[in-house]
Amino acid sequence: MRMQKLEHILFPVDLSAACRSMAPTVRSLACRTGAKVTLLNVLDMPPNYYSDPNAFLTLVDVTGLLREQRSKFELFLRPELDDLPKVTRISKHGDAARIIVDYAAKQNVDLIMMPTHGLGPFRRFLLGSVTAKVLHDSHCPVWTSDHDGEGNLPPSRVFQILCAVDLTPDHVATMRYADDFARMFGAQLRFLHVVPAIPGFAANYCDAEFVAGVSDAARQQLLQMQEKADSTGEAVIRSGKLSKAVRNEAVEWNAGLIVIGRGVLQEPLGRLRSQTCSILRESPCPVLSV
């Protein structure tokens, strides 16, 4: 997959401080690419609304909630984004994750940009449920902010991009996408594959030559994938726990963005799909999940 021209960015907002912190990144990317930006605010309704909406309506003034939410939404991020040439605001109510995914599919959105967490307790330790669902179900790339909120650089200041991949054929497309993104911003690109650490009891039976052979085989496979992707980025092999190794590499290399091949998470192929949430939680910088 080559990166398509970014023409439509979807920015779901829940009026939280996390969304406000992400606005400069959205603005920077929109200015750089000329993409239109759609702000989508969804009043997320509780589960019992769907099972018995009439009973729920007798207890909660939904009309009043919607009116209040829309009033706040109309003022949200006006100073930060309103001077962009193409900004649209859309307000809906229902299942937030489903509405976001459906809107992105029907409106040919090229990129969803959203924080890893919004409102709610313990947000430092958890990936927001809406974000997790969007990552699981969306078929378009998703840009998520640094989970700590301290490492978000505007795309114009992203000089080094780390692309973490599994050694599966479909990740060649991820490498192509990362290469296109790096070229667009004139950034350095590094490809990373993490070899699983050998369990302690088994490590006792593996000599250094065997371990080196595993790493060399992985490097050769990564280089072959890189050749198919037609990219000249540096290729490195590390070992250990995936999410921790990705974080350590990003910190040591001072990466401003991590690109991962998320794919469709239901597919039982590759560790990156199953550990996407862990990578996002531990990443020191934004993550672009392709």
* Tokens coding 31: 């200015």
With 60 as the cut, is the pLDDT of residue 55 above it? no
Number of other residues whose CB lies within 10 A of the CB of residue 49: 18
For 116-160, the pLDDT digits (tens) are: 874 444 344 345 788 888 988 999 999 998 866 555 666 767 899
How large is the average pLDDT for residues 200-228? 76
- In this prediction, residue 45 carries a pLDDT of 64
Domains in the chain (CATH in brackets) are 8-144 (3.40.50.620), 158-289 (3.40.50.620)
For 180-199, the pLDDT digits (tens) are: 999 988 999 999 999 987 65
With 70 as the cut, is the pLDDT of residue 278 above it? yes
For 4-20, the pLDDT digits (tens) are: 789 999 999 999 888 99
Cα separation, 116 vs 220, whole angstroms: 34
CA angle 136, 151, 264 (to 5 degrees): 15
Number of other residues whose CB lies within 10 A of the CB of residue 71: 11
For 148-170, the pLDDT digits (tens) are: 655 566 676 789 999 999 999 98
- Of the ranges 62-71, 130-139, 206-215, 238-247, which one carries the lowest mean pLDDT score? 206-215
- In this prediction, residue 113 carries a pLDDT of 97
